[in-house]
Amino acid sequence: MKVPKYLNDKVIIQRLATKYNLPLHVIEDAVYSQFAFVSSTIRKGEFEAVRLPYLGKFHVRRGRTDYLDKHNERSDND
């Protein structure tokens, strides 16, 4: 199912629910749960990479983790 770029997520969810004959809440759970998982993993602060099929890998760049480590060391010394 090809969806134009200008459609918002609610329209896409509605189309998927219609296509697969499923309730809206089931489609919403499937769509939003993967991003909730990525968000909770990143918020843990362990800088783990998260790979989502067909979307790619979400990770913190190495330079950013080095910067945060140095910044946290300075804060601990104050």
How does the average pLDDT of the chain come out, rounded?
80
Could you give the C-alpha distances from 66 to 16, 42, 62, 71, 73, in angstroms and in order? 42, 16, 6, 9, 11
Give domain status of residue 1, yes or no: no
Give domain status of residue 21, yes or no: yes
Give domain status of residue 52, yes or no: yes
What percent of the chain lies above the pLDDT cut of 90? 17
> How many domains does one find in the chain?
1
With 0.85 as the threshold, say if the pTM is over it: no
- What is the Cα–Cα distance from 7 to 62, expressed in whole angstroms? 35
Give domain status of residue 2, yes or no: no
Q: Kindly indicate the confidence band of residue 14, based on its pLDDT and cuts at 50, 70 and 90.
A: very high
CB 8 within 8 A of CB 15: no
Give per-residue pLDDT as tens, 60-77. Answer: 777 877 887 787 776 666
Q: Can you give the pLDDT at residue 2?
A: 63
9 closest CA partner among 27, 34, 36: 27
Give domain status of residue 3, yes or no: no
- Residue 37's domain spans which residues? 9-77
Q: Which two tokens stand for residue 72?
A: 């946290």
Give domain status of residue 4, yes or no: no
